[in-house]
Amino acid sequence: MVFRFFKKEDKEQQTHSTSLTHIFQPEGSAQTDAKLVQIIAHLDECKSNDFNYLVEKLVQRLGFDTQIIDGIHDSGIDIIGFQQQKKVLAVQCKAWNPKRNTNPLDKKEVLAFKGKTMSDGYENSLFVTTHYFTKPALDEASDNFFLIDRRILHDLLATYFPKEFSEAFYYETLKELKACPTCQKGKLIRLYSKNKRTYYTLCERCQGYHPCS
């Protein structure tokens, strides 16, 4: 059985009840954004438009209306964040795999984006990457020019998409196992039947049984 952490707002009930149902509830997997789970689970393989989708959802969670402009204007700005219909945030996204790409984002790239956002009059800017920034690049960060590297990005994903992050991490722990042919989403756990003296598999998601192949 999989549980999801459930935040209970009603403190009074917590105080007077010894039941743990306010903490543990059966998982509601339908409540997760399946596309986000896939992107988070395969962050280093995702295409730039998928990474833009992920960052756009994050920017929305941070309280902005958004518009993706990648591909329309080659300005280094991928996403615009709005508040009260006013452009207040410029976002650049770079999905680079640090296991393959040996160049962290350097000062030159950061300054190019900074120059663009300043000349366009943005109050705040966000440069988000799955890679890292060099030290001289990090020195360009300020309280309205934010550099989000791989480490901070994962903290933000865990904070703002806890269900999707947990789901992606959960399946990462089972990634060596075969996928369930019935539900396509679950993983097959290998079990042994003492009566039949044979191995079989059980899907941890749909609870379906399958013979071992």
Nearer residue to Zn ion within complex by CB, 80 or 168: 168
Q: Is 212 in the site for Zn ion (CB under 5 A)?
A: no
Q: Is 29 in the site for Zn ion (CB under 5 A)?
A: no
Shortest approach of Zn ion to residue 209 CB, angstroms?
Answer: 10
Q: Is 188 in the site for Zn ion (CB under 5 A)?
A: no
Query: If you write DSSP's letter for every residue of the chain in order, what string do you get?
Result: --EEE-----HHHHHH---STTTEEE--GGGS-HHHHHHHHTTTT--HHHHHHHHHHHHHHTT-EEEE-TTT--SS--EEEEETTEEEEEEEEE---TTT----B-HHHHHHHHHHHHHTT-SEEEEEESS-B-HHHHTT-BTTEEEE-HHHHHHHHHHH-HHHHHHHHHHHHTTTSPBPTTTSSSBEEEEEETTTTEEEEEETTT--EEE--
Shortest approach of Zn ion to residue 202 CB, angstroms?
Answer: 9
How many of the chain's residues bind Zn ion (CB under 5 A)? 8
Q: Is 182 in the site for Zn ion (CB under 5 A)?
A: yes
Nearer residue to Zn ion within complex by CB, 163 or 185: 185
Shortest approach of Zn ion to residue 31 CB, angstroms?
Answer: 19
Nearer residue to Zn ion within complex by CB, 65 or 204: 204
Nearer residue to Zn ion within complex by CB, 142 or 184: 184
- Choice from 55, 77, 186, 187 touching Zn ion (CB under 5 A): 186
Report the distance separating Cα 6 and Cα 28, nearest Å. 11
Q: Is 180 in the site for Zn ion (CB under 5 A)?
A: yes
Q: Is 183 in the site for Zn ion (CB under 5 A)?
A: yes
Q: Which residues form the interface with Zn ion (CB under 5 A)?
A: 180, 182-183, 186, 203, 205-206, 208
